[in-house]
Structure 1
């Protein structure tokens, strides 16, 4: 077929050339007009146009000026502009465009064009604007700019370009005003020739792998016309020296997400037009420069996740246009100045994770536009200012401070706007305001670890949208209100560690959305209500350390989603439910119930059942009185009747047991057949949908295209060239060639047909994942949806998974070297940090393991399956069960038995296990003939003995001990049994980057 295609194309071009020659000979049309037609038709022949957007491009026309998306010069009739943005085109940049010698604008953005950038674009000497952004171009960046002295606008961002930028790329760039290569995989140093582009207004090199210490002093700082400088999301290092004041017109400075160290440039305040400064996620030290108080136009300041010290700037109030202020994750001291109330435009304030003290100044209530305020993890004290809760706040996080007094009253404006309120771990007292029930948009309420000493107002049940209610250890002394779940939206209810009395209300069954119910360590009494069996989404049930009595309702065994239960230290009696998770509970989840019946427990077993029939041994003698003992027939008859009763009882019991075993076996067989039938039905629907008409046309959405085809009639066409490359908990993965160039993509067919029934819900969930773009995340390109079939389309990683490199390697294949292993560890940490810290709420992977870690051609880590746990609540039971089995050794201990909630710390535990697996080459859990080796415990024991280097994988050859040892120690910190002892992923990235720093410069980490 390829040969036929090339033959037809060559014949097509030959006919065009012949037609051109005839027209020239006849003198009817000039050679220039024919060149434009010929060039555009040849260019079109290399493109795939699914929507027929270029149908007006007709080779028989004398001029292309009437064609759509084409603009000509009205004087000479030559093509000066080709704009094909967002048409869903694919294919490659072929030949033909070089014929358009008068072309000034070429814009092909937001398509799916692949292949390399043709160096022949350099022949378009009149080109002033070139936009190839948001495509799938790959390969190196050619040095085509050296022949394009007229180029003013160049955008090749959001592609898959790799390698370094040619150092001579900017030899002749005096006309260049706009340059963006963001969102690629470019690496190496920033070319020194960039300093020649003296007319640059915008320079965007963000989200690549550029490294080294940029030449600020004589390079970037010399571009005096710069208005926007974006170097974020790279691996740049070194200091940021003074000299930025030379950029007088600079408006945006973005250096976040690098390895810059040292102090902030002291002259940064001498750039009078700056309105956006982002320097977060670096290693910057020292104080915030006082010169910044001169930045009167500054509206966005982000210095978070650095190592800044010194007092909080007292001059902050002079930045009267400031709307966004984030200095969280540093080591600032001092208190907030009263001048903070002068920030009339402030809508976002985050100072979490510092060492700030003192009271919140009352003047903060003058920040009337304030929407988000985060002060978590400081040492603030005093009361919460009156009037603060009269503002239209949407998020308040004052947790882990020393606030005292009562929760202040709030206005109707506050209750109408607030959606997140966290006042946990303070010293608050008093009542919970009953007005809380008026909060129509509140989704998260955490008042835990305070000393409220109040009751639970029944109004708490009136929340319309509340999903999380956390009142642990807050001094509650009342009973649980019967209407606690009046709204039905509550997902997490945590009331542990209080003095709650009374019984668990039967109305708890109205909490239809609940998946975590934790009432432990209270004084609750009475039976466990049967209505809990109505909570079909419930995954975790914690009732330990109460006074609950009676038998456990047998219907609780029907809760198919229940994963963890703890009913220890109560007064429960009788049998455990026969179904669900109850037969597999550990003794620690049952102990302390003296009347509970289980082979795991010692002590009496109290059964509230009728007494069994007891045959009186004297009954026979009593009945014999008055009868002739010599009557053998009577004696024989009576004895025979006694044996018959015993036999009937024994036979009935045996038959009942056999019948039960048969029923269980039949149910298991039926379940297996049912799962097989569902899988077969999916395959059948895929292959016959277009014939039978039972399956409606599916929706195909490509995120990078503004006008992708919405519907395809046959889903089989997406998989008919596919080859299976793996299976996981969420589905089967196929390798699929897309487009005429055969560029590979990965398509995951989700395992269940009932994940989400409505396309809008599926689209919303998957688009969140599609926005998670990072060099160390497997990019999600789109999806295909029908009610019966869902496919996820993502990029293809040619080097396979880490699982194959570590555990399924052929003897002839080389083992992973230490540099590659460290690259994988660091890349994985960066990808997870992006998921945890760049999204609100954070995206939790929750299934981290080597098979979900893919590798590109340069052994860069690509995390896959991230965020699919967002669909976990929609998956079938067998998927959830397989999920936990597949992650053996990676599940954090708090999830395996008594989880409070799933959070980032669960991923960090799994990441620590992953490090150990990468360094040692061993699996997390290994079974020997007579023992089981837990990798985490094994390495920890070797470290305590001083022999930890004995566990390093010998197959990787030479390695620097001064890097491997701290990496192993970091892994053990990440796998701490106590979640709060584990570092955040941003801290992990910083530690790994320090470890890779040359020894003389390395800071002491451990």
Structure 2
């Protein structure tokens, strides 16, 4: 390795010498030794090769043509191709490769190369034709010279961390470029106007970036007449797609999904005869489909789901005879399905869910012999299920909420082997569950709920080896629960509510080792609750209410540490509650209606189904211990025990008060220490900032918008726009203003940051703000840009039309309707998803630090958007200003450990704040409220009410009707999130999962498939 480093240092001198020798006609030095061998060895010296794939690269060889992964031109003996895909190489791409003058193909994809790819740091051979650097960790701006190499034909830089906008002159000289992929980076802004100069471009992939604006199809992309593949998916493009796509006569693949395109689909799209794949899903397209689409006889993949299309379902669909994948779901199509749909003999995937289709399911659909997945749910179909469909080799059948009648077809041997998911819920099906259902050996999901089957529980359910979800709620079932229902051990959700099942819960239920939701409520089950339930270590929700269960609740159930919700109300249970788990915090609604459960929450007798305890002679016990007792000394009296209880309570109260006092003292000491922090720290930071070399590429006093190529020149002084009339809020980090930008009426929010303690280096400020700008999620406020001068720093963000949650919850005008429970749950779930994205999608995780209603903004549909996340990154240090304001403006939201651990901020602090946010939304009360004689801490108040069984009394009645089976588990989740011990709080990913289970268990489970 030392010799390699020596070669690396000597390479410039050797190359100069070789050049002089060539000029003087000296041919005594082999070209391979001076160029190819040395170049490759220097390139290798910059790398870490953990698996020694490059061991054959020997510095003693005169030629590299025998080396692994190297190919030479047999005529010249020079290296022509270097392919190092997927070797796990680490390091930077050094300058050794520039000496491979005859290299045509270079592929370094699927490694761990890192670093900037600027022209100064990435030197490449001049005659390169194919360059593949995909799936690495390369960063920085995209250099113009890389695309404008006169010889380059193939360029793949996908799945790296390239960032920033593309320079407008990027494609000035791309006359040879045939394929370009920049997919999966962090690029942003509009497309360069020079793109149409790539006249021979065959493939263009810009997917999975942050590009925005309108790509100007008419004068730009549509002029690339040799294009065969165009992929703009998963960006932020907007606007309409004008006519003219027919100019792309050779186009085979068109992918526009995941943008904000609007208006109708171009009417001439069907004039691209070679189109084989079209995906325009997840946009805002409207209107009816153009009839020209029926000409696309070569189309195999067609998806336009999640748009706003209307009009009748196209009757010409059968003309697209090559279709294999068809997805029209989540639109507004009307009418009926044509019989010609049976002509799609190659169709394997059909999804028409969530439209307004009517009529019967065509019998001809059974002629689609290649069908694997069929999804027709949430329409208004009528009639019965065509039996012929159950003769196909289907893997998924989704026919829920369609109004179907008749019985469930028995199925064929072909279906038995293939079917994985069957959802026939929310119809009006009748008759027995076919015995053949037990033959579905690969079935993972079975949902027959909300039908009128009037059938026994089929014993064949025990045959399932892979079943994960079994939902038979409200289907008029009777009989007993089969004992072998969990023989496979894979069942995760078991829902049998609302039937007429009788007999005991089988003891074999303990074999359901994967079960996390078991709901058997509203049946006629009797007998004891099996002790074997205590084996279900993953169980989170247990619902047994409204049955005839008797006896005591097994104490062993207290071992179930993952339980979040239990309901055993309205049975015939008696005795003590299990010690541990969630049982000690159950409220009255989960226990009431039983014969004699021992709980202070319930009125009536406490019945113990156990014999009286044996009373031992206390003297005998003392004698065994070698102690002595006076004959006249009696055992502890009831009065003594009462006094002991009072003394213990007093001790607990005194201890709690002591902890509070200690916490206040610690905070005060921290504030004092912050004030006494040496001034030379700040001086040193400022000195470093002013003395460091600057590139001069960033302009002070200029408004920088990430989605624009240049700053709006008409805004010469953004601070002049910030007046009292436009002010809409104020927080720890600064004041917020509502500002219109441009004549188009675009409105943004501008936060004027507090100047104290904010980063004072423009380059550092720019870097940190751009990092925050890359944190994109539907539930995060998008950062649009910034303005910086030494005296003023502004952040430009998107504007949320419905203001903050604080204004809707606590500052609502009498004329404004209160938030409904549906909106409150949406706000909570969206906020949880946004925090989970910050915590789990970035390393290190982004901590919000200041969760409260004023930082939760709402769009026009009441979708939450978290603001002010990670602004602490813009601080040079967390000093007295932030500490004191944090505690003063977020009272009740501060996690208790912040007062005891020198302000160590981690994800669990955000979880605590989110738990308080739940309580505030459900109760409508502030986290801390001051009365004349007392102070009410919301977390403590709700916890006490829950213990007393009166928790429903704290729910905000202004939101109108609410489902108790959602509100109560959400309140309990809040108390878990606000646990005093950080390790006892769940992660935000777990919070999202729990909330989805609370709302609707089944769709959440589907996400796993």
* TM-score over 0.5 (shorter chain): yes
What CA deviation, in whole Å up to 9, does each residue of 1:245-302 have, x standing for no partner? 1111111110111111111111111111111101111111111211111111111001
Q: Shift of the alpha carbon at 1:571? A: 1.6
Q: Shift of the alpha carbon at 1:149? A: 1.7
**Residue 363 and residue 146 in structure 1: after superposition, are their counterparts in 2 closer, same or farther (change >3 A)?**
closer
Q: Shift of the alpha carbon at 1:118? A: 4.3
Determine whether 1:51 maps to 2:38: no
Q: Which residue of 1 aligns with 2:471?
A: 470
Q: 2:387 is paired with a residue of what secondary structure?
A: coil
Q: Which residue of 2 aligns with 1:94?
A: 94
What CA deviation, in whole Å up to 9, does each residue of 1:614-665 have, x standing for no partner? 99xxxxxxxxxxxxxxxxxxxxxxxxxx9969935869x989x99xx9xxx9
**Residue 457 and residue 596 in structure 1: after superposition, are their counterparts in 2 closer, same or farther (change >3 A)?**
same
Q: Which residue of 1 aligns with 2:311?
A: 310
Q: Which residue of 1 aligns with 2:906?
A: none
**Residue 513 and residue 217 in structure 1: after superposition, are their counterparts in 2 closer, same or farther (change >3 A)?**
same
Map 1:376-455; keep pairs closer than 5 Å: 376-455=377-456
Q: Distance in 1 between matches of 2:20 and 2:223?
A: 56
Question: What's the C-alpha RMSD, in Å, of the aligned pairs?
Answer: 4.6
Map 1:536-551; keep pairs closer than 5 Å: 536-551=537-552
Determine whether 1:479 maps to 2:480: yes
1:36–1:100: 8 Å Cα contact kept in structure 2? yes
Q: Which residue of 2 aligns with 1:588?
A: 589
Q: Which residue of 1 aligns with 2:196?
A: 195
Q: Which residue of 1 aligns with 2:82?
A: 82
**Residue 350 and residue 918 in structure 1: after superposition, are their counterparts in 2 closer, same or farther (change >3 A)?**
farther
Q: Distance in 1 between matches of 2:446 and 2:852?
A: 33
What CA deviation, in whole Å up to 9, does each residue of 1:411-436 have, x standing for no partner? 12112211111111111111111111
1:262–1:285: 8 Å Cα contact kept in structure 2? yes
Q: Shift of the alpha carbon at 1:451? A: 1.3
**Residue 368 and residue 805 in structure 1: after superposition, are their counterparts in 2 closer, same or farther (change >3 A)?**
farther
Q: Shift of the alpha carbon at 1:360? A: 0.4
Q: Distance in 1 between matches of 2:471 and 2:127?
A: 65
Q: Which residue of 2 aligns with 1:300?
A: 301
1:403–1:428: 8 Å Cα contact kept in structure 2? yes
1:254–1:277: 8 Å Cα contact kept in structure 2? yes
1:145–1:173: 8 Å Cα contact kept in structure 2? no
Q: Shift of the alpha carbon at 1:15? A: 7.5
**Residue 55 and residue 826 in structure 1: after superposition, are their counterparts in 2 closer, same or farther (change >3 A)?**
closer
Map 1:562-573; keep pairs closer than 5 Å: 562-573=563-574
Determine whether 1:290 maps to 2:291: yes
**Residue 809 and residue 447 in structure 1: after superposition, are their counterparts in 2 closer, same or farther (change >3 A)?**
farther
Determine whether 1:603 maps to 2:604: yes
Q: Distance in 2 between matches of 1:383 and 1:137?
A: 57
How many pairs are equivalent? Answer: 727
Q: Distance in 2 between matches of 1:418 and 1:217?
A: 47
Map 1:527-542; keep pairs closer than 5 Å: 527-542=528-543
Q: Shift of the alpha carbon at 1:357? A: 1.2
Determine whether 1:812 maps to 2:813: no
What CA deviation, in whole Å up to 9, does each residue of 1:536-581 have, x standing for no partner? 3322211111122222222222333333211011121111122333
Q: Which residue of 2 aligns with 1:628?
A: none
Q: 2:212 is paired with a residue of what secondary structure?
A: strand
What CA deviation, in whole Å up to 9, does each residue of 1:904-943 have, x standing for no partner? xxxxx998495799999976964899xx995467579999
Q: Distance in 2 between matches of 1:287 and 1:924?
A: 54
Q: Which residue of 2 aligns with 1:494?
A: 495
2:479–2:501: 8 Å Cα contact kept in structure 1? yes
Q: Distance in 2 between matches of 1:573 and 1:49?
A: 68
Q: Which residue of 1 aligns with 2:222?
A: 221
1:151–1:175: 8 Å Cα contact kept in structure 2? yes
Q: Which residue of 2 aligns with 1:157?
A: 158
Q: Which residue of 2 aligns with 1:504?
A: 505
Q: Which residue of 1 aligns with 2:244?
A: 243
Q: Distance in 1 between matches of 2:141 and 2:868?
A: 35
2:780–2:867: 8 Å Cα contact kept in structure 1? no
**Residue 13 of structure 1, aligned match among 11, 14, 22:** 11
Map 1:779-790; keep pairs closer than 5 Å: none
**Residue 403 and residue 889 in structure 1: after superposition, are their counterparts in 2 closer, same or farther (change >3 A)?**
farther
What CA deviation, in whole Å up to 9, does each residue of 1:19-47 have, x standing for no partner? 86999898522557523333333333322
Q: Distance in 1 between matches of 2:851 and 2:780?
A: 21
**Residue 503 and residue 87 in structure 1: after superposition, are their counterparts in 2 closer, same or farther (change >3 A)?**
closer
Q: Distance in 1 between matches of 2:124 and 2:851?
A: 58
Map 1:648-727; keep pairs closer than 5 Å: none
Q: Shift of the alpha carbon at 1:584? A: 2.3
Q: Shift of the alpha carbon at 1:109? A: 1.4
Q: Distance in 2 between matches of 1:267 and 1:910?
A: 38
Give TM-score scaled by structure 1 length.
0.65
2:779–2:866: 8 Å Cα contact kept in structure 1? no
1:852–1:864: 8 Å Cα contact kept in structure 2? no
2:39–2:96: 8 Å Cα contact kept in structure 1? yes
Q: Distance in 2 between matches of 1:865 and 1:432?
A: 52
Q: 1:253 is paired with a residue of what secondary structure?
A: strand
What CA deviation, in whole Å up to 9, does each residue of 1:749-794 have, x standing for no partner? xxxxxxxxxxxxxxxxxxxxxxxxxx9xxxxxxxxxxxxxxxxxxx
Q: Distance in 1 between matches of 2:53 and 2:613?
A: 84
Q: 1:298 is paired with a residue of what secondary structure?
A: coil
Q: Which moved more, 1:5-14 or 1:282-291?
A: 5-14
Q: 2:578 is paired with a residue of what secondary structure?
A: coil
Q: Which residue of 2 aligns with 1:558?
A: 559
Q: Which residue of 2 aligns with 1:171?
A: 172
Q: 2:113 is paired with a residue of what secondary structure?
A: strand
Determine whether 1:647 maps to 2:648: no
**Residue 913 and residue 943 in structure 1: after superposition, are their counterparts in 2 closer, same or farther (change >3 A)?**
farther
Q: Distance in 2 between matches of 1:83 and 1:820?
A: 33
**Residue 849 and residue 809 in structure 1: after superposition, are their counterparts in 2 closer, same or farther (change >3 A)?**
farther
Q: Which moved more, 1:561-570 or 1:432-441?
A: 561-570
Q: Distance in 2 between matches of 1:589 and 1:529?
A: 19
Q: 1:81 is paired with a residue of what secondary structure?
A: strand
1:828–1:863: 8 Å Cα contact kept in structure 2? no
**Residue 157 and residue 888 in structure 1: after superposition, are their counterparts in 2 closer, same or farther (change >3 A)?**
closer
